Amino acid sequence: MRYFDDKPELVAAILAKYPPQGRRSSLMPLLREVQTALHYVPAEQIEEIAEIVGVTATEVRAVMSFYSTYSTVPQGKYHLQVCATLSCALAGSDELWDDLCETLGISPGEVTPDGLFSVQKVECLGSCGTAPLVQVGELGYHERLSRQDLHALLDALRRGEYPGPHSPLPVFVHSGQQEDAAGARHGAELKPLGENL
């Protein structure tokens, strides 16, 4: 089945972001569309994208294999990614990972029989201040995740309810002032050009 045939506006909008000589730049956005919608990029879509962009399917595969996001085999409806890098490891991400894999009974590359879940260990997600975390596919981050939080999330997803991302801000700013560890607030008021200091 072709994916982009009935989406000419979408394709045109993506191509329009880049200059004529940069048609190939649309490759990644097009791959992302398919990956998000189908949870992988089937061979037929690789051909389709190659056609749109004007390169060979082999070239599309070469690009795909460089990046960790694109998959050539189907992933679960909810692809759960666990950051395993240092700050997360210091917050127990390896235990989180083991718990997740045991609970779901799958390893990377597998999908649960109900088609709901697949798992992947990934590198630093830029959430080191709110470690550990799980990223649910294209839906969002679930940070500072406790064992209870993880199981509550899995239960909700099993019921087909995505509870929405959980991304607490690791900052202590209140209307222009920053709170120190003792609870005192600091921060002068900024005045327009020339009047500061």
Partner 1 sequence: MTATAPRPITSGLDPRFALSLYAHVGEQGSWTLESYRARGGYQAARRALSMDPDRIIDEVKASGLRGRGGAGFATGLKWSFMPLKDGRQHYLLCNADESEPGSFKDRYLMSEDPHQLIEGMLIAGYAMRATVGYIYIRGEYILAAERLEGAISEARAAGILGSKVLGSDFDFQLQVHRGAGAYICGEETALMNSLEGLRANPRLKPPFPAAAGLYGLPTTINNVETLCAVTHILRYGASWHAQMGSGKSLGSKLYQISGPVHRPGVYELPMGTTFAELIEDWAGGPTEPIKAIIPGGSSCPMLPYQQDILDLPMDYEAVAAKGSMLGTGGVILIPQNYCIVNATWNLVRFYAHESCGKCTPCREGIAGWMVHVYEKLVRGQGRPEDVDLILDMSDNIAGKSFCALADACLGPVQSSIALFREEYDHLASTGQPLYPRQSRWLGGGAR
**Binding of partner 1 by 84 (CB under 8 A):** yes
Show the DSSP H helices in the chain as ranges. 8-15, 27-38, 43-53, 57-66, 86-89, 93-104, 147-158
Alpha carbon distance 97, 119 (integer Å)? 9
Distance CA 175, CA 69 (A): 38
Q: Using the rule CB under 8 A, which residue among 9, 66, 159, 160 binds partner 1?
A: 66
Instruction: Pick between residue 60 and residue 125 the one whose CB is nearest to ligand FES.
Output: 125
Among 11, 57, 110, 144, binds partner 1 (CB under 8 A): 144
Q: Write the interaction track for ligand FES spanning residues 128-157; mark x where CB under 6 A is met and - where it is not.
A: x--x--------------------------
Contact between residue 93 and residue 83 where contact means Cβ atoms under 8 Å apart:
yes
Q: What 3-state DSSP class applies to 160?
A: coil
Out of 62, 73, 124, 156, the residue judged to bind ligand FES by CB under 6 A: 124
Scored b (16 or more CB within 10 A) or e, 41-79 reads: beeebbebbbebbebeeeebbebbeeeebbbeeebbbbb
Partner whose binding site includes residue 45, from ligand FES, partner 1, none (CB under 5 to 8 Å by kind)? none
Question: Which partner in partner 1, ligand FES, none is near 26 (CB below 5 to 8 A by kind)?
Answer: partner 1
Least Å distance, CB 142 to partner 1, is: 10
- 86 is an interface residue for ligand FES by CB under 6 A: yes
Distance CA 28, CA 57 (A): 14
Nearer to partner 1, 1 or 182 (CB): 182
**Does residue 83 belong to the site contacting ligand FES (CB under 6 A)?**
yes
Number of residues that bind partner 1 (CB under 8 A): 82
Return the amino acid letter for 186.
H
129 binds partner 1 (CB under 8 A): yes
First CA to last CA across the chain, in angstroms? 65
Does position 192 bind partner 1 by CB under 8 A?
yes
